[in-house]
Amino acid sequence: MDTRLSPRERDQLHSLIREKLDTGGAEGPAEIRDTTMVRELPGVDSMMLLRLLGAVELGFEVNLGFQAIPQVETVQDIERLICESRAARRERVLTAGGRP
């Protein structure tokens, strides 16, 4: 299973995080990296994390579910969850006799 997004999708994810969490400050937008601790970003609390994951679901057309919340520590964790959701969807389609 591929656990990495394409560079374009990774940029999309980082932009989405900056947008939803409003990480800009007086010094400009915060840099988002794979190792960025999501819960340490300015203004992040449990409700904000839930909103972010909802936006990720819509933006990447995946289903992360509530079980994703405790799994998210870093931005890379969100990327992994996106890839896992896509792989699970492909498996369901193939099992049902369809094409991914």
- pLDDT tens, position by position, 21-56: 876 554 445 688 999 999 998 888 989 999 999 999
Q: Is the pLDDT of residue 84 over 50?
A: yes
In a domain, 54, yes or no: yes
Domain of 27 in residue numbering reads as: 7-95
Domain count, the chain: 1
**In terms of Cα–Cα distance, which of 51, 57, 9, 61 is closest to 34?**
9
Cβ-contact 95, 19 below 8 angstroms: no
In a domain, 1, yes or no: no
Question: Which pLDDT does position 27 carry in this prediction?
Answer: 47
In a domain, 20, yes or no: yes
In a domain, 26, yes or no: yes
Calculate ∠ Cα 19-50-17, nearest 5°: 20
Paired with 28 in beta bridges are 25
Q: Provide the CATH number for the domain around residue 12.
A: 1.10.1200.10
pLDDT band (50, 70, 90) for residue 100: low
In a domain, 100, yes or no: no
**52-78: pLDDT as tens digits:** 999 999 999 999 999 999 999 999 999
In a domain, 13, yes or no: yes
Question: Which pLDDT does position 21 carry in this prediction?
Answer: 82
In a domain, 35, yes or no: yes
Neighbours of 41 (CB within 10 A): 19
In a domain, 70, yes or no: yes
Residues 6+ apart with CB under 8 A from 22: 42, 43
